[in-house]
Structure formats: structure tokens, C-alpha cells
Amino acid sequence: MPASEAARSSCPHCGSAVLDRGLPVLPLSGRCPACGKAIGPRPLLPEAAAGAAFAAIAVGGASGWFAAVQYWVAACGVALALIDLAVQRLPDVLTLPACGGTLVLLTAAALAGEPGSLGRAAAGAAVLTAVFLPMVFAGAMGLGDAKFAPAIGALLGWSSWTVLFWGAAAGFVVGAVSEVVRLAAGRARRTHVSFGPYMVIGALAVSVTAS
């Protein structure tokens, strides 16, 4: 749901319950069992997007705990990207676990002696968050983007400062190109840009190619 609205537990089309004790009761089709209308993204789109991201990570060749970090960011990032595209928000229920899980897995990578720097990863998380916060206050970016920034900054910072720079920059480049294309096609949102998908795509693309 958009940030200004309360969470819902019923179908927006017919009002039938789609949660049972807080758990979804939707079939794999993603359609309401009562009225048959679609709720959320197209059926199997999240799974297909996650599968494509996982395949790209596997091709990248990373291994050990750092590969687990890439998969974790991809899994959280796909869900966040789809939510951001739908309602222009990155909810805490996903951004916070994304950040916490990333730092925990990178700590495991450091303890295992994998190449990279946990200190630089932590610093990268702080730096990217510090870069995003002024844009949040200026209204150019959502607070959810800043809450997701530590996960992206830590993932990229683990490898090097160069990877952090290019991974963060890639999100802006991909976003700018995509929005220009959407604007030319008459489909761009002129009041708000969903930056979450671009953050994920840019960061993972640079992290995977640098592995």
C-alpha cells in the first residue's frame, strides 16, 4: 500500500479476505479466490525476475559468503523494486532486513577470510546513506531509498571504493536513461520516480561484473 494508507487484508476489488492470521491465502495465480481479479504484480513476475537476477549472479562467478550477500540483496531488491514501481515506496519490512542481512553475511565473509573489507563495507554503507539523505530532505528521493542505501553501500564497499562509486553511479545512469525513454514514450511519472529498481540494477550489475 502507499505510505499514506493503512495495510489491507482484503481484496481491493470485492472485499473478500486475502489474509488468514496475517498470512496470504492467494493462489499461485495471484488472483482473488472470490472474484478472480489480479492482486499485486502479474503472476510469476517476482519469481521470474528473481530467477533472472540469480542467474546473472551465478554467471558472475562469486562464491562463498559474498555470493550469499549478492543473492540476499537480489532477493530483497526484486521485491522492493516491484513494490516501488507499484506504490512508490520501499517498506521497512524489507529495507531493514536487507540491511541487517547484508551486514551479517559480510561479517561471515570477513570471518571466513574472503577477499574484501568489512570496515570498508560499513564505511560504504554510511557514505551512501549520507549521500542520499540530503536528496531525501530536498524531496528528490524517498526516505525508503535512504533506508535501503546501507545494504547497497555495504555490498559495493566490500569490494573497493571504485566499485562503490560506479555501483552507486550506475543506479543514477540507469534511472536517467530509463526515465528519458519513458518520457519519450509518454509513460514517465513526472511527479515521482521509483528509484529503488535502478538502485538494485545498478548495484548488482557492477558488483557481479567486479566479482
Rg (CA), the chain: 18
For the chain, 211 residues long, give each residue's pLDDT as a single digit of tens: 666 677 777 888 888 887 776 666 666 677 788 888 877 777 788 899 999 999 999 999 889 999 999 999 999 999 999 999 888 889 999 999 999 999 999 999 999 999 999 999 999 999 999 999 999 998 888 899 999 999 999 999 999 999 999 999 999 999 889 888 878 877 655 556 788 999 999 999 999 999 7
Are 194 and 123 within one domain? yes
Note the pTM of the prediction, 2 decimals.
0.85
Are 83 and 186 within one domain? yes
Are 11 and 51 within one domain? no
Domain holding 8, by residue range, is: 1-40
Total domains in the chain come to 2
Cβ-based neighbours of 11, under 8 Å, separated by 6 or more: 17, 18, 32, 34, 35, 37, 39
| CA separation for the pair 160, 168 (Å, rounded) | 12
Are 130 and 107 within one domain? yes
